[in-house]
């Protein structure tokens, strides 16, 4: 079990790392080409609207309902894949057409600080990239099927494929051989290539009539999809609301906030959330077949999430200046803008342990066919976030928005821990587990001292960050060695006796 999880985690993490690194390059090219200007705001809007709409309309629900359904009925999994792909393609083509018709109202809602001329300019490019929505939905169904089969390589490379395609478009703009409309076309191309790569791996058959007999999308699945969709979309509304408030702060502030949020999301996706992707199919399968193993996945998943997120937070907060300068310290970005981004990141990184834990606990709820509770909790957290910003609870400006994000996820995480009830599982055994506690204290202490030492060195930025990554990996090894079962695996692999 441990060996399979480690192998899957390594494969998935390499793919995610490549994808997020390409995202680094993408954001750096946007910053170098457009700086913190109105044009940068439009590019950010264009790049985020399709993912935003998919997130709002799917919210991670595709995997949440399809993976457990695939696990329960392996003999009809391919037929369920075909049916769900065709039904959701039709549905989201209709939805996209409706959004296309009302795209001006959507842009006005997302960036209320834009004037009429700016909104018109943004509308022209957003209309092009909207058709990425059905392509992303199709990729969501094939990703769920591949994850159910524990085939993580191709889905994990999806972000890399999209980002590399966008980077080509950005480079053309950078060398003045293309326009923002050209970039929009490359965004669509990236979505198509991602879906096509997964279809090639799955090698689906085609039988329009037989594939719909019997029809497998029953009412309980539709209800669960609706609840999981709303639950996920409420979480994705956090950055949407944040960008809307940022647009009121003047031109360029949407871009500055977006740059900051992207650098916070990078360690979350690469170093934390991948665990949820790997363990969710196993959580779903064990809930139906082996409750003892289900509780083990919960325990070790929570501990691993906390360890990874805390180490990432400590490392990057101490190296925040180097982190910001490495990505944005050139091109059209001024020194003041980079300093503002570093300040925002130093606050935003506090959300890593909260959001990482929240994502994993949500997966536990979903694996137990409970999609209603996360939906209600996420809704309450979002209402708090919006209310806090409107009331100025954390002050004003971009820093207040970032503090609001941290507080919102803190409330969500606390409510999830209170409401999640697992039979025969003592929560104290998770957080006060001796190997986890002692290993964590040693690792965190070393991480603080090591990264403080790195800050004082006169080295290249990339070398400092690489040393910080190496220190974090060493700390993870320290924590792992406190677990007897991991020591036993290492001893057997290394041929150590006794």
Cβ pair 143, 63 in contact under 8 A: yes
Mean pLDDT, all residues of the chain: 83
pLDDT of 6 > 90? The answer is no
Q: Average the pLDDT over 80-84 and give the result.
A: 83
The tokens for 81 are 């894949």
How many whole angstroms separate alpha carbon 99 and alpha carbon 71? 34
Cβ pair 144, 124 in contact under 8 A: no
pLDDT of 5 > 70? The answer is no
Q: Average the pLDDT over 220-243 and give the result.
A: 77
The pLDDT tens digits for 8-58 are 556 666 766 777 778 778 877 887 777 777 777 888 777 777 766 666 555
Cβ pair 183, 166 in contact under 8 A: yes
> Domain ranges in the chain?
2-432
- Give first-to-last CA distance, the chain, whole Å: 23
Cβ pair 412, 377 in contact under 8 A: yes
How many whole angstroms separate alpha carbon 215 and alpha carbon 226? 19
Lowest mean pLDDT segment, chosen from 199-203, 354-358, 426-430 = 426-430
3-state percent breakdown (helix, strand, coil) of the chain, nearest 5: 85, 0, 15
The pLDDT tens digits for 338-372 are 899 999 999 999 999 999 999 899 989 988 878 88
Q: Average the pLDDT over 224-239 and give the result.
A: 77
pTM attached to this predicted model: 0.73
pLDDT of 218 > 50? The answer is yes
394 three-class SS: coil
Helices (H), 248-290: 253-268, 274-289
Give me the pLDDT at residue 138, please: 87
Give me the pLDDT at residue 235, please: 79
């Amino acid at each position: 079990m441990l060996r399979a999880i480690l192998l899957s985690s390594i494969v998935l993490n390499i793919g995610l790392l490549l994808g997020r690194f390409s995202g680094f390059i993408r954001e750096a090219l946007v910053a170098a080409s457009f700086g913190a200007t109105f044009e940068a705001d439009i590019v950010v809007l264009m790049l985020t609207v399709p993912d935003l709409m998919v997130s709002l309309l799917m919210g991670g629900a595709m995997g949440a309902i399809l993976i457990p359904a695939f696990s329960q009925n392996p003999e009809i999994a391919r037929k369920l894949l075909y049916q769900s792909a065709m039904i959701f393609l039709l549905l989201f083509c209709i939805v996209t057409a409706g959004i296309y018709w009302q795209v001006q109202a959507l842009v006005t809602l997302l960036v209320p600080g834009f004037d009429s001329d700016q909104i018109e300019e943004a509308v022209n490019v957003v209309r092009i990239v909207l058709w990425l929505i059905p392509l992303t939905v199709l990729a969501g169904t094939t990703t769920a099927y591949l994850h159910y089969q524990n085939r993580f390589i191709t889905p994990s490379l999806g972000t890399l494929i999209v980002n590399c395609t966008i980077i080509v478009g950005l480079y053309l703009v950078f060398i003045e051989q293309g326009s923002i409309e050209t970039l929009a076309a490359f965004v669509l191309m990236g979505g198509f290539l991602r879906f096509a790569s997964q279809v090639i791996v799955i090698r689906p058959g085609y039988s329009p009539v037989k594939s719909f007999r019997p029809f497998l999308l029953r009412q309980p699945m539709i209800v669960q999809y609706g609840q999981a969709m709303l639950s996920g979309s409420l979480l994705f509304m956090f950055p949407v609301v944040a960008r809307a408030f940022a647009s009121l702060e003047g031109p360029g502030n949407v871009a500055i906030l977006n740059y900051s949020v992207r650098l916070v999301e990078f360690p979350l996706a690469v170093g934390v959330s991948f665990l949820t992707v790997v363990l969710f199919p196993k959580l779903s399968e064990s809930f139906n077949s082996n409750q003892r193993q289900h509780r083990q996945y919960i325990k070790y998943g929570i501990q691993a999430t906390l360890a990874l997120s805390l180490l990432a937070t400590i490392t990057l907060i101490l190296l925040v200046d180097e982190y910001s300068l490495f990505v944005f310290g050139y091109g059209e970005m001024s020194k003041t803008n980079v300093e503002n981004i570093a300040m925002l990141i130093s606050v935003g990184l506090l959300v890593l342990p909260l959001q990482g834990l929240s994502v994993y606990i949500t997966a536990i709820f979903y694996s137990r066919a409970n999609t209603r509770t996360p939906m209600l909790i996420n809704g309450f957290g979002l209402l708090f976030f919006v209310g806090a910003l409107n009331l100025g609870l954390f002050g004003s400006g971009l820093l207040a928005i970032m503090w609001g994000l941290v507080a919102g996820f803190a409330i969500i995480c606390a409510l999830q821990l209170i409401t999640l009830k697992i039979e025969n599982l003592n929560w104290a055994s998770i957080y006060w587990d001796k190997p986890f506690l002692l290993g964590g204290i040693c690792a965190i202490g070393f991480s603080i001292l090591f990264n403080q030492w790195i800050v004082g060195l006169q080295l290249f930025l990339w070398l400092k960050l690489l040393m910080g990554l190496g220190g974090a990996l060493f700390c993870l090894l320290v924590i792992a060695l406190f677990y007897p079962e991991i020591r036993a695996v290492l001893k057997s692999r290394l041929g150590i006796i006794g």
